[in-house]
């Protein structure tokens, strides 16, 4: 399976993310959704700072995942993959 580096634009910043070629569209969709959610949180004006906005968006997404019906093994693997990508992009 080949890997490519994608550029994703999230909340006015570009990030380079390594991604298996067959997951390209899913990653781009995830980046668009994260960007949408982060912009929505920023527009409320109640959360200031990109890192705090990212944490709030991550908490909202995690809550949705936990509250959703049972996750199967393939979704579990996808969530682990997304978690690794988030860790790779966010500063330590």
Predicted local distance difference test score (pLDDT) of residue 75: 77
Predicted local distance difference test score (pLDDT) of residue 86: 82
- DSSP symbols for 15-44: EEEEEEGGGHHHHHHHHHHHHHHHHHHHHH
Predicted local distance difference test score (pLDDT) of residue 34: 93
Predicted local distance difference test score (pLDDT) of residue 1: 72
Q: Which domain holds residue 75?
A: 3-89
Predicted local distance difference test score (pLDDT) of residue 16: 94
Q: What are phi and psi of 46, to 5 degrees?
A: -90, -15
CATH number, position 33: 3.30.160.880
At CA 39, angle to CA 34 and CA 41, rounded to 5?
95
> How many domains is the chain built from?
1
Residue segments in the chain with a per-residue pLDDT below the cut of 50: none
Predicted local distance difference test score (pLDDT) of residue 14: 93
């Amino acid at each position: 399976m080949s890997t490519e580096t994608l550029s994703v634009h999230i909340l006015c910043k570009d990030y380079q993310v390594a991604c298996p070629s067959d997951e390209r569209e899913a990653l781009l969709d995830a980046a668009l959704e994260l960007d949408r959610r982060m912009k929505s949180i920023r527009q409320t004006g109640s959360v200031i700072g990109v890192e705090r906005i990212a944490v709030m968006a991550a908490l909202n997404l995690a809550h949705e995942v936990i509250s959703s019906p049972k996750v199967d093994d393939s979704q579990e693997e996808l969530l682990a993959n997304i978690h690794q990508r988030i860790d790779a992009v966010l500063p330590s």
